[in-house]
């Protein structure tokens, strides 16, 4: 892949809004801003609204095998697996990511036992970030939670891998709401615009670097080799009084 050639990359934006209809989601507006940058750079972008699908909570690949009448996750998983970049969007409620976001993380975790052809987590070589909106504190806290979850599963997290917008504390306009002067809440916020741009480009840069490198070398992180007895230099520490 040539420098700054992102045309072979695929990005999946998953919106975990509590709004049943995606067109009513304020988080979707900021996701769109990031996605537009990627599309202009040549990345193939797909959006997915979680509540437009039946995805029950759980940590198994298919929850219909565990008592649920329907589970759309297997089809969603195909999209996650195909994407080099995953961006998770969530609103804030009581300073935390949405309950729908937690379900997404659970379902991602449910696939973490899958390995690539190097014996690594199937998420190795993919990058992740988050987009957070609301009118209460918690952007950094939610970004920390989502970033750790993705990293623990095997995603690589680039620098400044989150962006967000919050209005004044308490009831008030949400991101993109029309104000009395005809402007849109948050659209003129330089901090949000800057962080959204930096996050998006860092996701693309890192995804391209990993693609060019063929992912991570598997020395030291090959689970299959570990099972077969390869210790990669680890020895139990000796007890000394």
Q: What is the pLDDT of residues 199-215, one digit of tens each?
A: 999 999 999 999 999 99
Average confidence (pLDDT) over 95-105: 96
Q: Which residues contact 172 (CB under 8 A, 6 or more apart)?
A: 135
User: Which residue intervals of 110-173 are DSSP H helices?
Assistant: 139-153
Query: Residue 29 and residue 181: Cα distance in Å, rounded?
Result: 20
Which residue bears the tokens 């620098």?
Answer: 159
Please indicate, yes or no, if residue 234 is contained in any of the structural domains.
no
| Listed residue (103, 86, 104, 164) closest to 131, CA to CA | 164
The pLDDT assigned to 209 comes to 96
Q: Band of the pLDDT at 241, cuts 50, 70, 90?
A: low
For 235, the token pair is 């020895």
Please indicate, yes or no, if residue 101 is contained in any of the structural domains.
yes
For 120, the token pair is 């690594």
Q: Band of the pLDDT at 25, cuts 50, 70, 90?
A: very high
Q: Band of the pLDDT at 138, cuts 50, 70, 90?
A: confident
CATH of the domain at 174: 3.40.50.360
Average confidence (pLDDT) over 42-55: 98
Q: Within 13 Å, how many C-alpha atoms sit on residue 24's CB side? A: 7
Each residue's pLDDT tens digit, 142-201: 999 999 999 999 999 999 999 998 887 777 778 888 888 888 877 888 999 999 999 999
| Strand-pair category, 10-15 with 44-49 | parallel
Query: Residue 105 and residue 125: Cα distance in Å, rounded?
Result: 18
Please indicate, yes or no, if residue 102 is contained in any of the structural domains.
yes
| Strand-pair category, 85-93 with 44-49 | unpaired
Q: Band of the pLDDT at 1, cuts 50, 70, 90?
A: low
The pLDDT assigned to 48 comes to 98
Q: Do 79 and 12 form a contact (C-beta atoms < 8 A)?
A: yes
In sequence order, the β-bridge partners of residue 15 are 49, 89
The pLDDT assigned to 184 comes to 84
For 130, the token pair is 């988050």
Query: Residue 122 and residue 86: Cα distance in Å, rounded?
Result: 13
**Residue range of the domain that includes 55:** 10-227
Please indicate, yes or no, if residue 14 is contained in any of the structural domains.
yes
Which residue bears the tokens 């998983």?
Answer: 77
Please indicate, yes or no, if residue 2 is contained in any of the structural domains.
no
pLDDT of residue 2 exceeding 60: no
Please indicate, yes or no, if residue 210 is contained in any of the structural domains.
yes
| Strand-pair category, 162-166 with 127-134 | parallel
Number of domains in the chain: 1
Query: Residue 101 and residue 131: Cα distance in Å, rounded?
Result: 11
Please indicate, yes or no, if residue 5 is contained in any of the structural domains.
no
Can you give the pTM of this predicted structure?
0.93
Query: Residue 218 and residue 99: Cα distance in Å, rounded?
Result: 35
What percentage of the chain reaches a pLDDT higher than 90?
76
Q: Do 89 and 13 form a contact (C-beta atoms < 8 A)?
A: yes
């Amino acid at each position: 892949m040539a420098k700054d050639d992102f045309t072979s990359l695929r990005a999946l934006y998953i919106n975990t809004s509590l709004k049943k209809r995606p067109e009513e989601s304020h988080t979707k507006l900021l996701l769109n801003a990031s996605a537009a940058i990627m599309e202009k750079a040549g990345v193939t972008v797909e959006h997915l609204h979680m509540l437009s699908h039946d995805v029950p909570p759980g940590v198994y690949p298919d929850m219909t095998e565990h008592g649920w009448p329907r589970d759309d996750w297997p089809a969603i998983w195909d999209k996650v697996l195909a994407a080099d970049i995953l961006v998770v969007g969530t609103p804030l409620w009581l300073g935390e990511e949405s309950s729908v976001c937690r379900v997404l993380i659970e379902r991602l975790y449910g696939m973490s036992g899958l390995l690539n052809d190097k014996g690594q987590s199937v998420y190795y070589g993919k990058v992740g970030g988050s987009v957070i909106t609301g009118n209460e504190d918690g952007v950094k806290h939610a970004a920390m939670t989502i970033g750790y979850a993705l990293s623990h599963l095997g995603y690589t997290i680039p620098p400044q891998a989150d962006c967000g917008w919050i209005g004044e504390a308490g009831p008030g306009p949400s991101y993109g709401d029309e104000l009395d002067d005809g402007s849109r809440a948050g659209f003129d916020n330089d901090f949000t615009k800057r962080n959204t741009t930096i996050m998006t480009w860092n996701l693309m840069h890192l995804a391209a670097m990993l693609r060019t490198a063929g992912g991570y070398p598997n020395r030291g992180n090959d689970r299959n080799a570990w099972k077969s007895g390869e210790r990669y230099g680890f020895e139990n520490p000796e007890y000394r009084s």
